[in-house]
A and B are shown apart, each in its own frame.
Chain A
Amino acid sequence: HFGHGLIGMLIGLVMVIGLDFL
């Protein structure tokens, strides 16, 4: 499940960057 891990990491990064931006 290589893709799953990648998608998860991307979502996590986007979440934290979004939070920081807000």
Chain B
Amino acid sequence: GGTMALIVGIYSRLIHAIKSFDTRFVKDLVTFRFSSALSGVHWRFMTVLLAGIFSAILFFTKIVPLQVYMFTDPELIYGLFFGLIVGSIVILLKALDSFGWWHAFYVLLGTLIGFWVVTLVPADTSESPLFVFLSGSIAICAMVLPGISGSYILLILRKYDYILSQVGKLGTVETAEGLLMILPFVLGAITGLALFTRLLSWLLDHYYVQTIAVLIGFLIGSLYVIWPYQDRSYEEFITETEVIEYTGERAMELRENPPETNLPTYRRLGEVVNPNATFDELKQIELVTVKKKLVKSDPFIP
């Protein structure tokens, strides 16, 4: 989320740019006054940023699939981010002019809050639209804060699998139901982003050094979970279930070559749908798509 923006020094610009997409912009847009709509927002900055994000997503999922390496070589990937963040902390602290003890206080405050957030334990929560709305607004706040990831907050609130399964419904016969369930989440995210960027931009305008010091603290607090050497435990979410023939080609193939389970997503055989069928040929079996997500990690010194 906000980590990279803080590291490369565009954090303040990012927050102000997000904030510039306000109700006036929406009003101009729906009344087709496009030039007026564009004049009030930081569209050049956002277009370049979004183009960068989009090409990075393509590059790091299709060409260098980071999401796979995070599961197969976690030490290398987490090490890379650990080094990146340690270096950035030093550079960012040096950039704060006239570092004094009161800066150290804000950095410590941020570190404590950051550490507290990244070591929270998942809690069971309600699936009412109101709570889903709230989850969306909290997760988006985490997304714009450095050191804390939005998807991690969803895990803590036990809404990650819920949102994922609703997104999985899109494009199937349950599209309408999925959309209806996601709607409170999206509305929450928009509301959260609008309110939180206003708070952050006010803080950056009035207490710039203190705010940046707390944000650097968040980065320091997050080092605990970024440390490359950890005992990691994962939770598996079934995102898709398909019923196939028990003796069919795909089922046989999976029995002969069991799937690699240290991948972020893989397909494996589930339960037999009709175990009482007379012949194996009549039986049907579930083919499930499993998504793995890191839920707990305990750092150790190698």
Interface residues of A (CB under 8 A from B): 1-2, 4-17, 19-20
CA distance A20 to B91 in the complex (A): 8
CA distance A1 to B85 in the complex (A): 21
Q: Distance (Å) between the CB of A2 and the closest chain B CB?
A: 5
Cβ-defined contact, B91 with A8, below 8 A: no
Cβ-defined contact, B82 with A9, below 8 A: yes
Main secondary structure of the interface of A (DSSP, over half): helix
Using A5-B229, A20-B91 as known contacts, say yes or no to A12 and B86 having CB atoms under 8 A apart: yes
The residue on B at minimum CB distance from A18 is B87
A-B contact pairs, 19 of them (CB 8 A): A2-B75, A2-B229, A2-B302, A5-B78, A5-B79, A8-B80, A8-B81, A9-B82, A9-B83, A9-B228, A12-B79, A12-B81, A13-B83, A13-B86, A13-B87, A15-B83, A15-B87, A16-B7, A16-B83
CA distance A4 to B7 in the complex (A): 24
Cβ-defined contact, A12 with B87, below 8 A: yes
Write out the residue numbers on chain B whose beta carbons fall within 8 Å of the beta carbon of A9. 79-80, 82-83, 86, 228
B76 within 8 A of A: yes
